[in-house]
């Protein structure tokens, strides 16, 4: 199993590739953009923002050269967004809706088959982390968030809490500083 730092370095590679494709991605009509390297995940704003947040919050785990690569990727991303506030907002709202539906389906599956759904929780909760990253960015000026999506996510969280067992942090322990339990409670335990 890879360590948290190894996974963070992989995140950096992915973030750089996503930042390089961001301008073209935002000009396209595709929500899930196929990256040029086969082993890379699909480019979405949620995938980029989740990794950017984690990398910036945990930048001290990276060496100086990696920190410089991170800064370059973030600058490239910010440059790709120049003059595209409305486009970003539209794409982020669209992705947020899709991710909310996916998360809702996972929670439904979990309620129907709790043992099966709980097995994949560390992976499935990545979708919830992307939702948070999108919500956070859309609540930051100059962007605006569709309030209906916030209510949907809050309803899902309320439902999850009724099946929640507090416990250990589900991702690598060295990532905990980036994810305070008060805000990211759904990373500290498992559904039951």
Question: pLDDT truncated to tens, each residue of the chain (192 aa)?
Answer: 578 899 999 999 999 999 999 999 999 999 999 998 778 999 999 999 999 999 999 999 999 999 999 999 999 999 999 999 999 999 999 999 999 999 999 999 888 887 776 678 999 999 999 999 999 999 999 998 887 889 999 999 999 999 899 999 999 999 999 999 999 999 999 888
| Gap between the Cα atoms of 87 and 6, Å rounded | 33
Read off the pTM. Answer: 0.94
Q: Quote the crossing angle between the two packed helices 4-27 and 85-112, to the nearest 10°.
A: 130
Closest C-alpha among 150, 59, 164, 154 to residue 111 = 164
Cα–Cα distance for residue pair 65/125, rounded to 1 Å: 30
Which range marks the domain in which residue 112 is found? 1-192
C-alpha–C-alpha distance, residues 49 and 137, integer Å: 8
Count of structural domains within the chain: 1
For residue 70, count CB atoms less than 10 angstroms from its CB and return exposed for 0-12, middle for 13-18, buried for 19 or more: buried
> Quick check: 191 and 139 in contact, CB under 8 A?
no
Strand intervals (E) in the chain: 164-169, 188-191
Separation of alpha carbons 121 and 154, rounded Å: 19
């Amino acid at each position: 199993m890879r360590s948290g730092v190894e996974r963070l370095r992989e995140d950096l590679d992915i973030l750089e590739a996503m930042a390089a494709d961001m301008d073209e991605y935002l000009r396209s009509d595709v929500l899930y953009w196929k990256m040029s390297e086969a082993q890379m995940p699909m480019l979405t704003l949620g995938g980029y923002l989740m990794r950017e947040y984690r990398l910036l919050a945990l930048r001290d785990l990276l060496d100086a050269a990696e920190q410089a690569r991170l800064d370059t990727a973030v600058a490239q991303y910010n440059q790709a967004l120049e003059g595209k506030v409305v486009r970003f907002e539209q794409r982020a709202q669209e992705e947020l809706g899709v991710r909310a539906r996916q998360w809702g389906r996972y929670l439904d599956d979990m309620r129907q088959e709790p043992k099966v759904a709980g097995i994949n929780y560390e992976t499935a909760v990545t979708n919830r982390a992307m939702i948070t990253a999108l919500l956070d960015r859309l609540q930051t000026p100059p962007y605006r968030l569709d309030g209906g999506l916030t209510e949907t996510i809050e309803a899902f969280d309320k439902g999850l809490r009724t099946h929640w067992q507090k416990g250990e942090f589900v991702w690598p322990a060295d990532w905990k500083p980036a994810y305070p339990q008060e805000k990211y409670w759904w990373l500290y335990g498992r559904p039951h």
